[in-house]
Amino acid sequence: MIDIKFLRENPDVVKENIKKKFQEHKLPLVDEVIALDKEARAAQQEADELRANRNKISKQIGVLMKEGKREEAEEVKKQVTANAERLAELEEKERELQDKILKDMMVIPNIIDPSVPIGPDDSCNVEIEKFGEPVVPDFEVPYHTDIMERFNGIDLDAAGKVAGNGFYYLMGDIARLHSSVLAYARDFMIDRGFTYVIPPYMIRSSVVDGVMSFDEMDAMMYKIEGEDLYLIGTSEHSMIGKFKDTLNDEASLPYTLTSYSPCFRKEKGAHGIEERGVYRIHQFEKQEMIVVCKPDEAWDWYNKLWQNTVDLFRSLDIPVRTLECCSGDLADLKVKSCDVEAWSPRQQKYFEVGSCSNLGDAQARRLKIRVRGENGEKYFANTLNNTVVAPPRMLIAFLENNLNADGSVNIPKALQPYMGGKEKLVPLHD
């Protein structure tokens, strides 16, 4: 959510930003907010004047009563009553106007960084850099669930009977590999100075409103029936929520946290053939990283965060690239975002395995995450997040890039301690 003062003083900039995000239907909201804000400030000014006059008039009544001027005092009392009624009306009007303003402001997208490429959808995202040499082996790479089945490592049919489409059973070496990757990612981030956290897996609506746009919430979140609770779609939601309504000393920043959680997503929309198996699912686990920092440190952290993911994947012998997200592919709260994509030897193309985002002060403004500077000045923090690793999707890249012609899977040295020292997984059948 942007600063209303900024919108008030720069309406054309806000409108141009809306156009860059290809959301022209939101343009009327800018003028609507300006009109509502003007009305709200006028109501506030009149209310402030009535409050200021209240004590003055009360003293006047006392003086008149002492002087025996009861009739005049009664007339002044009537004025006090009328003023009180008017003040109540103005206070109610202020509340209604502020609610309308907030509703509109929550929909107006954040101001994107000037470096963001302009385009309507992800087809306009721009490759930044490749890390590692993508290899296409001289043998056929099976579909990822077929690889897993050779190890008796997955059962989608049983999961479908138990929970429906979009769920899975992982078993044996594949389940162990899944857990090992998460444990390795946890330690990888701890070694880089991040504090490990296991957060709540459910959050209240006030936190949901603070961390994501309404469109994202509708497409992603599962609501707990009868309670003000939602299942998290990523631990970023509850991790940023941890700082809700806080005033943090500048000297304590940055907060650098890495969190494990299961994640639950509706995943609305049609899914293509490559999204079968465990590519797009309703339940998965993830290691996440979040940073709460001063505004002038945000871009340094942005670059550190995506580099962490690149380094982790390269340590597991997986080629990756970074992709700059265009304006139309950015969620409304984001200032800038890049995806980390892993190489798929089977598809001979890259696919998303992580996303790094700088949200500026949008989440902090919604959740009232403030910082107190050395001079006593108070301002909103900046927040950032990035995926460390999200199996089982990440397992697709791992299995394809470490697969041998005989169906065995190499275990990179970095992961071997987490796999009981195993250097290779051997299939149980063809």
pLDDT at residue 57, rounded to an integer: 67
**CA 334 – CA 110 distance, rounded (Å):** 6
Q: Are 291 and 256 in contact (CB under 8 A)?
A: yes
Per-residue confidence in pLDDT tens, the chain, 430 aa: 899 999 999 999 999 999 999 999 999 999 999 999 999 999 999 888 877 776 666 656 555 565 666 667 666 666 767 777 888 889 899 999 999 999 999 999 999 999 999 999 999 999 999 999 999 999 999 999 999 999 999 999 999 999 988 899 999 999 999 999 999 999 999 999 999 999 999 999 999 999 987 777 777 889 999 999 999 999 999 999 999 999 999 999 999 999 999 999 887 544 443 456 888 888 999 999 999 999 999 999 999 999 999 999 999 999 999 999 999 999 999 999 999 999 999 999 999 999 999 999 999 999 999 999 988 999 999 999 999 999 888 999 999 999 999 999 999 999 999 999 999 999 997 7
- Given a contact cutoff of 8 angstroms between Cβ atoms, the answer to whether 149 and 338 are in contact is no
> Residues near 17 by Cβ (< 8 Å), separated by ≥ 6?
109, 111, 112
CB 278 within 8 A of CB 393: yes
pLDDT of residue 62: 57
pLDDT at 98: 93
CA separation for the pair 111, 3 (Å, rounded): 10
| pLDDT at residue 49, as a whole number | 83
The owner of tokens 């460390």 is 388
- pTM score of the predicted model: 0.89
Burial 84-97 (b: 16+ CB within 10 A, else e): eeebeebeebbeeb
Dist CA 194 CA 292 (whole Å)? 12
The three-state secondary structure class of 130 is strand
Q: Which of helix, strand or coil describes residue 344?
A: strand
Q: Which domains does the chain have, with CATH numbers?
A: 4-105 (1.10.287.40), 122-425 (3.30.930.10)
Residues 337, 355: contact at Cβ < 8 Å?
yes
Range 255-270 burial, b when 16+ CB lie within 10 A, else e:
bbbbbbbebbbeeeee
